[in-house]
Structure 1
């Protein structure tokens, strides 16, 4: 971002600026993160576009923090033998922790029903080929959810819904990751 000294007029009032200096001042005032001054999508004003870009940056910042925290907790769970043993011997606790993200997503019931359907198929004992097929379908579904939630982020969410937008994207990414892990696990069990 340009400093305030660069944004001040280069000539006193009543004097003309050279055209190249005017272009330099206007170019320095363009926010490169906002797409070189272009609107986010056609049909919105520049002010609305600036607010929407800020909203998108806030949501993706929260999403990045969620993914980093998930990685840290997962690493702690896997690498800490006592915690790993506790979760292995207590299936009720593990199930409660697995269902908790779905409870957080209750405002998005349409997403929740497809998530539960695909996740429910994982718990049914199927052969490795069926698991791979259902995993592939699940990966397609969750990829579609990511696209839909991203479009909602850009066009539909209000500026106060940044938490729900980031939770929706987080659960989509997490479920996509889990379905890919199931596909890889079924491929490994074939060998």
Structure 2
């Protein structure tokens, strides 16, 4: 009886049973429902990305069109790079307006998927598979770790400024690379560093998903995690393709 009573007191001290982190005030059931909704959206985004990328690489007419280097293919290529940025502006504005937010999210996902497909078009299947498998393993591992750490009272909100600063450095490096192309070793180092940064973002955004996003911010939460996963994949692809060539 004493042990049972002591266990009950511990649960009461840590908040209600089933809470995701200590001193959780909101309903765990509502938060879990929100988390499931976000992961369903992200899973659908990943499936769309895999399907569109596969079509770009394996459907002969599409592959030949982008390999043709005609003015038309170049114009479409530039449009696919610019379009996600153009779609993101209204998507952020309408992120809590259903169903416009989901329509814009779908369009954004398709645009990003084409960009990833084009990035993979000149990469060997072995490298793509390696990057995809490692991305899956890292995402699952870091997600489980973040939920475990949150349950034990760890908070990762402090990572925000450091990750943002690291992202700025990566962007400046990319811009520099355009004007001053660097060798394979530099690309491999860049890919590895970018993978570390976006791994940190997965932990940071998962922590936000558990604790800070409101229930209406499912699109914002899905975009954050989707971009983290996509960028991690592209970073690993860069590292592997540079070392493989």
Tell me if both proteins adopt one fold, taking TM over 0.5 as the criterion: yes
Q: 2:28 aligns with which of 43, 46, 49?
A: 49
What count of residue pairs does the alignment treat as equivalent?
150
In the TM superposition, what are the counterparts of 1:122-137 in structure 2 within 5 Å? 123=178, 125-137=181-193
Structure possessing the higher relative contact order (Cα contacts under 8 Å, 6 or more residues apart)? 2
| TM-score of the two chains, using structure 1 as the length reference | 0.69
Deviation at 1:50, TM superposition (A): 1.0
Show CA shifts across 1:118-145 (max 9, x none): 6546645210000011111111111111
More helix by share: 2
Q: Mark the structure with the bigger radius of gyration.
A: 1
Q: CA RMSD in A?
A: 2.5
Show CA shifts across 1:27-56 (max 9, x none): xxxxxxxxxx420111114x5211111100
Residue of structure 1 equivalent to 2:10: none
SS state at 2:214 partner: coil
Aligned-partner Cα distance in 2 for 1:170–1:118: 23
Aligned-partner Cα distance in 2 for 1:143–1:105: 22
Deviation at 1:99, TM superposition (A): 4.2
Kept in 2: contact 1:122–1:131 (CA 8 A): no
Residue of structure 2 equivalent to 1:73: 52
Show CA shifts across 1:147-185 (max 9, x none): 111111111111001011111110110011011001111
1:186 partnered with 2:245:
no
Q: Which runs of 5+ in 2 are unaligned?
A: 1-16, 93-163
Aligned-partner Cα distance in 2 for 1:119–1:57: 35
| TM-score of the two chains, using structure 2 as the length reference | 0.55
